[in-house]
Amino acid sequence: MLEAIMYVSLSAVLVSLTAQWFHVVFQVASRNKIRQRQHVSLKRLSSDLRTDLISASDFSLTPPQQLSLNVEGKEEIIYRISQGQVDRIVGDAQKPARQDVYRDLDDLRLEFVDGNLTDTSKIAFLNVYRPAKRKKLDGAAPQSVAEKSLMERPLLQVRCRPNSNREAVE
């Protein structure tokens, strides 16, 4: 009887350890799937942004949320960051001719930055940051923007200048 109780308790321990192991494996797989979707969205976004900026004659920036591109002979292109996604709107913002959405960017911080080199040359940056893993010892949340930026890792920076400015700089 004692041996049977030992075998049952040992079996219960092994089953619970196996269940925990499966939980961890599925959690890691889910996290990797999310990162892969983010990577695909960021790759598409950076490619489209570079293409649009190169074909643009000028841009205006409302940091850190919106970038408007003026393309000669074509409709205006607007990139807008909102709630874990980036919207690419071609044409009028109210009635777009085409709209693309780059999703699955929830835990990333994205910002558009104006990097003017000179008065005649403009350059646009898209900075992407991933929150750094914080130690759980310090339970206090960061208060200032500087403290928050110290806890983020730069993940990607896309920089390009409009085609009309290229001759002035290079």
How many domains does the chain contain in total?
1
pLDDT at 167 (0 to 100) = 45
Helix (H) or strand (E) holding 163: helix 163-169
Q: Does some domain include residue 16? A: no
The whole-number pLDDT of residue 166 equals 46
Q: What pLDDT does residue 94 have? A: 83
Q: Give the pLDDT of residue 37.
A: 95
Q: Is residue 71 part of a domain?
A: yes
Which residue range(s) make up the domain with 87? Answer: 27-135+143-169
pLDDT recorded at residue 148: 58
Question: Would 8 be classed as within a structural domain?
Answer: no
Q: What is the pLDDT along the chain (170 residues), one digit of tens a residue?
A: 999 999 999 999 999 999 999 999 999 999 999 999 999 999 999 999 999 999 998 899 887 789 999 988 888 999 999 988 999 999 887 888 899 999 999 889 999 998 876 656 788 899 999 987 765 545 555 556 556 556 788 999 999 888 764 443 33
Cis peptide upstream of residue 64 (ω within 30 degrees of 0): yes
Q: Which residues pair with 131 in a beta bridge?
A: 152
pLDDT at position 99 is 93
**Nearest alpha carbon to residue 125 among 159, 152, 92, 98:** 159
Residue at 9 is within a domain:
no
122: in domain: yes
Q: Is residue 63 part of a domain?
A: yes
User: Biggest alpha carbon distance in the chain?
Assistant: 90
Q: What pLDDT score was predicted for residue 120?
A: 64
Structure tokens at 82: 């909102």
Asked whether residue 75 is assigned to any structural domain, the reply reads yes
pLDDT for the residue numbered 146: 57
Q: Please name the amino acid found at residue 20.
A: Q
- Whether residue 15 lies inside any domain: the answer is no
